[in-house]
Amino acid sequence: MNATSLVEGATTATSLSTSASAAATSAVIAVGSHADAVWSDALLLRVHLTHADVAGFLKSFTITTVSEIGDKTFLTSAILAMRHSPLTVFWGSWSAMICMSTLSSLMGAVLPALLSHRGALFISAALFLGFGVAMLWHGFHMQGDELGEEWKEAQDEIRADEEEHELDELERGEPATGVYPEVTPYPPMRRESTLQRANEALHATPKTSVSAFVREGTRNLCGLFFSATFSQAFLLNFLGEWGDRSQITTMALAATHRVAIVAVGTSLAHLVCVAIAVTAGALLAARLS
């Protein structure tokens, strides 16, 4: 009787141990599967996207493409492609847009933590409606030479960036690298000689503004790893996109959709826009030459 009880007790203990091991194994598998799902979701490795993901991608891609075609950063990339290597300008401009899209998406992801989901949806809808009305009004009231004004404004911004870089070189006692020829068909503004710029550099007040500090710091950082053309394209597009309507749109989309989806959609839209701008600039430069 005692032997039988011992055998039954051992069998029961073995069964309990087996059950506990199976439960522990199932728990580990469940935790691992949940962790894999979380990482896959964060890294955009899910094979099946939801309807909300597809809608967010299409919205971000379409709205960004429409708002960027003909924008100042679009014209800036085209002008730079007329003066420099189009491939280098493309990578510099698109890299800046990728950084800005990612940063804007992350900033937009913070909005739901500050506002309710209903409030975020209301703000997003109001922004989209406002931008749509503004674009329609701008299209109906556009004047004939408005694109020319945008072109000259982008050209002046590039010229100011080059002159600022040359003045910094003169202040450090380095030889100026020179400037690039003016871009037609719009008439160039009067250029100052190197001697005049050197005299201005000697009597200029130190630049202490935040914008100048950020511009020079970004230029120096890019110059450590990339060429001057890449750095200029990156700097002008990154700073030119800051505060633009496409950045605000990206933030609004990221507040109501997945961050990764919005970042990918806007980055691909910028890829298309930058490619069109650089190609147009290179073709125009070849035709004018």
**How far is it, in rounded angstroms, from Cα 209 to Cα 207?**
6
pLDDT for residue 94: 94
Nearest to residue 147, comparing CAs of 95, 215, 79, 219?
A: 79
Of 16-30, 133-147, 155-169, the range with the lowest mean pLDDT is 16-30
Residue 135 in this model has a pLDDT that exceeds 80:
no
Q: What's the average model confidence in pLDDT over 282-287? A: 88
The larger pLDDT score, comparing residue 163 to residue 68, is at: 68
pLDDT for residue 257: 85
Tens digits of per-residue pLDDT, 211-266?
555 666 666 666 666 788 888 889 888 888 887 778 888 888 888 888 899 999 99
φ/ψ of 181, rounded to 5, equals -65, 160
Tens digits of per-residue pLDDT, 99-125?
999 999 998 888 777 766 666 667 666
Please, which residues have CB within 8 angstroms of residue 163's CB and are 6 or more apart in sequence? 179, 192, 197
Q: Indicate the pLDDT class of residue 268, thresholds 50, 70 and 90.
A: very high
φ/ψ of 172, rounded to 5, equals -85, 0
The larger pLDDT score, comparing residue 219 to residue 24, is at: 219
pLDDT for residue 262: 92
Please, which residues have CB within 8 angstroms of residue 242's CB and are 6 or more apart in sequence? 100
**Single-letter residue type at 60:** S
| Cis before 86? omega within 30 | no
Please, which residues have CB within 8 angstroms of residue 207's CB and are 6 or more apart in sequence? 213, 216
Q: What's the average model confidence in pLDDT over 10-17? A: 52
Residue 67 in this model has a pLDDT that exceeds 70:
yes
Tokens of 6: 């011992």
pLDDT above 70 covers a percentage of the chain that reads 46
The larger pLDDT score, comparing residue 34 to residue 167, is at: 167
pTM of the predicted structure, to 2 decimals? 0.63
pLDDT above 90 covers a percentage of the chain that reads 17
Tokens of 14: 């073995």
Q: What's the average model confidence in pLDDT over 154-160? A: 71
Q: What's the average model confidence in pLDDT over 80-84? A: 89
Angle at the Cα of 121 (from 117 to 126), degrees rounded to 5?
A: 150
Mean pLDDT (the chain) is: 70
Residue ranges per structural domain of the chain: 1-48, 51-288
CA atoms within 13 A on the CB side of 155: 22
φ/ψ of 205, rounded to 5, equals -80, 150
